Amino acid sequence: MSAGADRRFDHWFAQRGWKIFPFQREVWRAALKGDSGLLHATTGSGKTYAVWFAALLRAAATKEKGRRKAGLRVLWITPMRALAADTLRALQTSAADLAPAWTVDARTGDTSSGDRARQARRLPDALVTTPESLTLMLSNADARERFAQLDMLVVDEWHELMGNKRGVQTQLALARLRLWNPGLVVWGLSATLGNLARAGEALLGAAPVKPGVTVEGRVRKDIVVDTLIPDHPSRFPWAGHLGIQMLQPVIAEIERHATTLVFTNTRSQAELWYQNLLDARPDWAGRIALHHGSLDREVRDWVELGLKSGQLKAVVCTSSLDLGVDFLPVERVLQIGSAKGVARLLQRAGRSGHAPGRASRVTLVPTHSLELLEAAGAKQAVAERDIESRPVPDKPLDVLVQHLVTIALGGGFRSGELYEEVRGAWSYRDLTPEEWQWALDFVARGGQSLTVYPEYRRVLPDGEGVYRVPDAAIARRHRMGIGTIVSEASIQVKFMSGGRLGSVEEGFISRLRAGDHFLFGGRILEFVRVHEMTAYVRRATGAKGAVPRWQGGKMPLSSELAHAALERMRLATEGVYDGPEMRAVRPLLEVQQRWSALPTPGVTVVERMRSREGHHLFMYPFAGRAVHVGLASLFAWRLARARPATFSIAVNDYGFELLAPEEVAWPDTMDLFSDERLLEDVLASLNATELSQRRFREIARIAGLVFQGYPGQHKSARQLQASSSLFFEVFRKHDADNLLLTQAQREVLEQELELRRLRATLRELRARAVSLHEVKRATPFGFALMVERFREKLSTEKLSDRVARMLRELEKAAGP
DNA sequence: AGAGCCCTCTCGACAT
């Protein structure tokens, strides 16, 4: 490291009264040597400056060698546009001091077209951008020339990207940039993960020139997790998810602190909490706010600004404030309901005490009694830093197909060369020549079944074997569809007078009639009419309204949290109830123990019960709701194979219930727990085709089969679903080997059913003892499932059989 | 061996 540069940086930090952390210097040294790597650091630890100064040092060094030419030197990738703005400001101020000649800019969707035109002529020295914008730049014919001077690339919040298709798209872009600049230095910034080593590998590619370095940002961050204990734990409900009983304690917490973030798990829950807070404290109008992903960007900007300026006392939010509040003064973080995972809890805790050396604190607010148990487990898992891994997707072909068209636009490609390049991306390291050929054929001819449609012949080789996009309309359509995020079709919500509020899903609006009231954006609105995918509303008074529901993913409880909860129950069986959470949940656990038993890491509890509804079987494997859906359907299927029967199924994160109207001979559990023919049984027990078809919608969009429509004139969900279903059917009939179909099925099994975890759970079930109990009434664990029941109704009985059974019952009722 | 649930399911980007 040049002594001069070193001194300047020391001075820069000293001026601000900031201490240079050893890990920062470690990154500078490594990057100067040309090493790439992963920096594992918490937010608010000075991680941004660690890598940014590395870039400035490298620039200084190469400048000294006289190699400086105009062009983009540093690329900074961030997963969120909102984050880009704050990062940009931090980078610009330091560059102004240290490298005044540098231009630092952002390129995101927010940039006005004037800026873009200027950037198109000449890129700045450093650019802050998103994976999608980067890919878009790669689709320009002169991409290579523009990136020729690049010598450092930083991916911020890599842990947010690595586990999804956005991360895969980033990997593909990186493979390309590395090929153009073999000396490219790449650094990822990641929060704590169960699989940090994998994070580094995925970022640096399948065949790195040099092994990557991992730097630990060892700034000790104390994390405090505690719980708001209900005033009367013995009268706290056994089920439910809203947690409004905790309103008063939450108000008291908000009262006591300057700024509080109140995290909820769903958007509708956020709406309800906000409304309840305002009803209880009308004096807080204007001092508390609501923030979630369906609110209009302008509304959210206003809220974020209010937080920054300290005007807001509390914000009720969803994960929309998980990221991007790095520069906000938040004193207190509350989490209503289960945090579902340790990583998520840490992330949220990190929103408070956001400065080097200050402790972060999150307070759990249970919404039912068993969440007290979960809270005790969460505390332990956080203390042990037992954090979830994020699996990296394995060669998703929809993303590859999109990439092929992007590269055909960005200068064209030769098949063999691009194949090698793509295999340099970690996710595609095992891509076979056959798979490659399939993907190429798919974009060149439309595969087996679409050959007659010219719009699916998207790339063509020229006389020299270079694949390009021959058609301007196809090119434009492709650029408009770049990216891997597929959202539900939604309807804009606007006041009659014109103000934009946000969006709700089509299905919700279609159930409303003119004059109906609903709660959205913290206001009671009267629905007027729908016109061109916009719902017009006016302010309503008095009466409460329906709360919109959104269709989101259903996040299961993580294994880490589930195991911690089981462990706490094992201690409880030994009479150990330590901590306020365990003491509060003690009466409930004792009832469970008296009526039945407590599930522990070594014991599976199974309960049988008869009621007017029929014959119930409850089981509590603690494997998360996705696995319980799989297990319940699998068991129902296996039971019904022995003797046809209909089962109603209910699941939650702790267990599941099977209910049969008629007597069922429950067989030996070990037969149920077998993983023989597991895949076949799982596929048969669930409607696998329907699940794949739903999944295929996303794949068809990413692969460029379905066009979302031009901005502002979005197609309706029905239209989009119809066209993706059409492709699904055509492929199934005429192109059964279509690899996108295979991918849809694989994604269902891996992501929606968590097949690996299901298999692991079956293994655990076989190893554990079964504690079987005949119960007269639902136990505390069973009660929650009974409440849950009619949401998830599944049947293994064919319709005709069901009709036959109903007829039999009718006959019985009618008598002889 | 008391009754207990108001309704559930995040986020993120790009393009004319």
| Residue found by looking up tokens 């068809």 in the block | A700
d(CA A294, CA A291): 9
- pLDDT exceeds cutoff 80 at A396: yes
Rounded to whole angstroms, how far apart are CA atoms A156 and A80? Answer: 10
Higher pLDDT, A138 or A661: A138
Lowest mean pLDDT among A355-364, A608-617, A707-716, A764-773: A707-716
Rounded CA–C1' distance between A447 and B4, in angstroms = 58
Asked if strand B comes closer than 7 Å to A487 Cβ, the answer is yes
Each residue of A152-172: pLDDT tens digit?
A: 999 999 999 999 999 999 999
Are the C-beta atoms of A294 and A505 separated by less than 8 Å?
A: no
pLDDT bracket for residue A272 (50, 70, 90): very high
Q: Which residues contact A60 (CB under 8 A, 6 or more apart)?
A: A2, A5, A99
Chain A residues 700-729 with Cβ under 7 Å of strand B are: 708, 710-712
- CA of residue A52 to C1' of nucleotide B4, angstroms: 55
Q: How far is the CA of A214 from the C1' of B13 (A)?
A: 29
Angstrom distances, CA of residue A513 to CA of A236, A517, A541, A546:
37, 9, 17, 12
Q: Integer distance in angstroms from CA A586 to C1' B2?
A: 16
DSSP letter for A578, please: -
Identical fold for domains A3-217 and A223-231+239-384, yes or no, is yes
Helix ranges (DSSP H) in A65-125 = 81-98, 113-121
**pLDDT tens for each residue of A596-627:** 999 999 999 999 998 888 889 999 999 999 99
Grade residue A711 by pLDDT with cuts at 50, 70 and 90.
Answer: low
d(CA A776, CA A8): 76
Task: Determine if strand B comes within 7 Å of the CB of A593.
Answer: no
Work out if A244's Cβ lies within 7 angstroms of strand B.
Answer: yes
Which H helix or E strand runs over A534? strand A534-539
Phi, psi values for residue A750, rounded to 5° = -75, -45
pLDDT tens for residues A379-393?
Answer: 999 999 899 999 999
Mean pLDDT score of chain A = 87
> Straight-line distance from CA A588 to C1' B1, in Å?
13
Please identify residues in chain A, positions 767-796, with a C-beta within 7 angstroms of any atom of strand B: 775-777, 780, 783, 787-788, 791
Give dist(CA A652, CA A621) in Å, integer. 11
Strands (E) across A42-181 are located at 74-77, 104-107, 126-129, 152-155
Report the relative pairing of strands A185-190 and A260-263 from DSSP bridges: unpaired
Fold of the domain spanning A3-217: Rossmann fold (3.40.50)
How would you label A321-349 residue by residue, b for 16+ Cβ within 10 Å and e otherwise? bbbbbeebebebbbbbbbbbbbbbbbbbb
pTM, 2 dp: 0.92
Q: Tell me, in Å, how far CA of A698 is from C1' of B10?
A: 17
Strand B: which positions are within 7 A of a protein CB? 1-16
Judge whether A545 and A743 are in contact, CB under 8 Å. Answer: no
Query: What is the residue-wise DSSP string for A657-708?
Result: EEEESS------HHHHT--TTHHHHHHHHTTHHHHHHHHHHHHHHHTTSS--
Which backbone phi and psi does A659 adopt, to 5 degrees?
Answer: -125, 125
Nucleotide nearest to A235 (CA to C1'): B4
DSSP SS3 for A389: coil
DSSP A34: T
Residue nearest to nucleotide B4 (CA to C1'): A237
* CB-CB contact of A212 with A155 (8 Å): no
Residue with token string 């920062």: A24
* Sequential DSSP letters for A192-257: --TTHHHHHHHHH-SS-SS--EEEE------EEEEE---SSGGGS-SS-S--GGGHHHHHHHHHHS
**Average pLDDT for A39-56:** 86
Q: Say yes or no: Cβ of A238 under 7 A from any atom of strand B.
A: yes
Which residue has the closest alpha carbon to B13 C1'?
A132
Residue A354: per-residue pLDDT: 67
**Nearest residue to A225 (alpha-carbon basis) of A522, A469, A579:** A579
**Which tens digits make up the pLDDT trace of A495-522?**
998 888 998 988 888 888 888 889 999 8
- Which contacts (CB < 8 Å, 24+ apart) does range A478-481 have? A478/A139, A478/A402, A478/A405, A478/A406, A478/A409, A478/A704, A479/A136, A479/A139, A479/A409, A480/A707, A480/A708, A480/A710, A480/A711, A481/A402, A481/A701, A481/A704, A481/A707, A481/A708
Q: Is the pLDDT of residue A816 over 60?
A: no
> CA–C1' distance A603–B2 (Å)?
27
Closest C-alpha to A106, from A68, A139, A141, A78: A78
- CA distances (Å), origin A639, targets A384, A480, A617, A630, A790: 40, 50, 12, 14, 21
Distance CA A316, CA A334 (A): 9
A:570-589 Cβ neighbours of strand B under 7 Å: 587-588
Q: How many CB atoms lie within 10 A of CB A181?
A: 16
In this structure, how many other beta carbons lie within 10 angstroms of the beta carbon of residue A661? 14
pLDDT of A760 reads: 95
* Closest nucleotide relative to residue A270's CA, C1' based: B8
Residue A791: is its pLDDT beyond 80? no
> What residue type is assigned to position A801 of the chain?
D
From the alpha carbon of A479, which nucleotide's C1' atom is closest? B15
Judge whether residue A552 contacts strand B, using its CB and a 7 Å cut-off.
yes
Cα–Cα distance for residue pair A121/A672, rounded to 1 Å: 66
CB of A742 closer than 8 Å to CB of A729: no
Any idea where the domains of chain A sit in the sequence? 3-217, 223-231+239-384, 400-486, 490-539, 596-686+754-814
Q: For residue range A165-216, what is the model confidence (pLDDT) as tens digits?
A: 999 999 999 999 999 999 999 999 999 899 999 999 999 999 898 899 999 9
CA distance linking residue A31 with residue A53, whole number of Å? 10
Closest CA to A597 of A740, A785, A781, A407: A781
Distant-in-sequence, close-in-space partners of A784: CB < 8 Å, separation ≥ 6 = A238, A239, A368, A370, A652, A654
Asked if strand B contacts A237 at the CB level, meaning under 7 A, the answer is: yes
* Residues 357-416 of chain A in contact with strand B via CB under 7 angstroms: 368
| Residue A702: pLDDT band with limits 50, 70, 90 | very high
CATH 3.40.50.1820 fits domain A223-231+239-384: no
**CA–CA gap between residue A152 and residue A171 (Å, rounded):** 15
A203 touches strand B (CB under 7 A): no
- Encode pLDDT of A104-157 as tens digits: 888 875 544 445 555 556 788 999 999 999 999 999 999 999 999 899 999 999
> For a pLDDT cut of 70, what percent of chain A falls above it?
90
Q: CA(A497)–C1'(B10) in Å?
A: 30
The residue lying closest to nucleotide B1, measuring its CA against C1', is: A595
Protein chain A, residues 11-70, with a C-beta closer than 7 Å to any atom of nucleic acid strand B? none
Q: Is the dihedral of CA A276, A277, A278, A282 positive or negative?
A: positive
Angle between helices A3-15 and A47-64 (to 10 degrees): 150
Handedness of CA A319, A324, A327, A328 (dihedral sign): negative
**Using the CA of A595, which nucleotide's C1' is the nearest one?**
B1
Straight-line distance from CA A564 to C1' B2, in Å? 30
The three-point CA angle A170-A474-A145 to 5° equals: 50
**Which nucleotide has the shortest C1'-to-CA distance from A482?**
B14
A479 touches strand B (CB under 7 A): yes
